[in-house]
Amino acid sequence: MLRRLLRRLSPSPPNPSPPPLPADWRGFDRDTLHHFDAPELPLQPHGMAVPSYALRTEAGTGDLAMFLGIGEAWAQMVARFLPDEPVVLDLGCGCGKLARFLHLNPRLRYVGVDIFLPGILWCRRAFAGSADRFRFEHFDGYSATYNPDGRIAVTDYSLPAADASVDVVVCSSLFTHLLEADAIHYLGEIARVLKPGGQAFISVHNAVAPGERWRGDEERIDLDEDYFLELCAMSGLIAEEPIGEVYGQVVHRLRNSVASRGR
């Protein structure tokens, strides 16, 4: 009897701590990433799902507050320059970091493009109720890091938009991963799809030594800003404004030059 009483009064052993999460998406099963939302933020009525930690790490940060903060900052910036019924092309859309905020504009039509298939599949599920105006396209391009089985060279890729059909192109943390030849190709494609006078918002890293123009690999690219703006101008994208630093990346606002595109 005494022994049973003592067992009842004895504190229970603590529950073992859950194993730590992998550092980023590479530690998870790539084929199932798109099935999961953030468990700590279940979907609310008329709400938008929040992507899992693993998907957020591929989009730049696993930290939920930072993920939402970056998306909101870009949305606020872009929204200042949108026409009344805008068409937005988001290159490197990830798991909807920007799209979830642009979605609040009922007049806006959106196309998101990414090389990372799990992010695209997740977005198609999360935005299924708005598929008439929010579309997500997978670019099956080769990337040693993000799409090692990709079949298309970046320099052979055409953006999924007709000529002169887009008001704003957003490249948040895209050119921070592009090799020089790929970046030049993208600039030409951005100029092709933008309407006359349409705008592009492009972020870059600029930690290069004097005399360096482009360095790094697809994990991180740094470039000389003056050289980059020269490449933009050669493609018909004229520098309008250096926005400044947004969460560690320098953002430039550019405008499509009608004369340089021959329209």
* Cβ burial 126-148 (10 Å sphere, 16+ → b, else e): bbeeeeeebbbbbbebebeebbe
Say if residue 156's pLDDT is above 80: yes
| Ordered structural domains, the chain, with CATH | 65-261 (3.40.50.150)
Instruction: Give the pLDDT band (50/70/90) at residue 259.
Output: very low
Contact 204, 224 (CB under 8 A): no
Say if residue 73's pLDDT is above 50: yes
Instruction: Give the pLDDT band (50/70/90) at residue 20.
Output: confident
| pLDDT value, residue 261 | 45
Instruction: Provide DSSP, the chain.
Output: -HHHHHHHHSPPPPPPPPPPPPSSGGGS-GGGGGG-B-TTS---TT----B-HHHHHHTT---HHHHHHHHHHHHHHHHTT--SS-EEEEET-TTTTTHHHHTT-TT-EEEEEES-HHHHHHHHHHTGGGTTTEEEEE--B-BTTTBTT--B-GGG---SS-TT-EEEEEETTSTTS--HHHHHHHHHHHHHHEEEEEEEEEEEB----TT--EEEETTEEEE-HHHHHHHHHHTTEEEEEEEEEETTEEEEEEEE-HHHHT-
Say if residue 198's pLDDT is above 50: yes
Tokens representing residue 243 in the block: 């926005």
Say if residue 245's pLDDT is above 90: yes
Contact 201, 78 (CB under 8 A): yes
Q: Residue 152, CB half-sphere, CA atoms under 13 Å: how many?
A: 12
Q: How many residues does the chain have?
A: 263
Q: Mean of the per-residue pLDDT values for the chain?
A: 91
| pLDDT value, residue 34 | 75
- What's the average model confidence in pLDDT over 25-47? 83
| pLDDT value, residue 22 | 78
The rounded distance, in Å, linking the Cα atoms of 132 and 134 is 6
Say if residue 39's pLDDT is above 50: yes
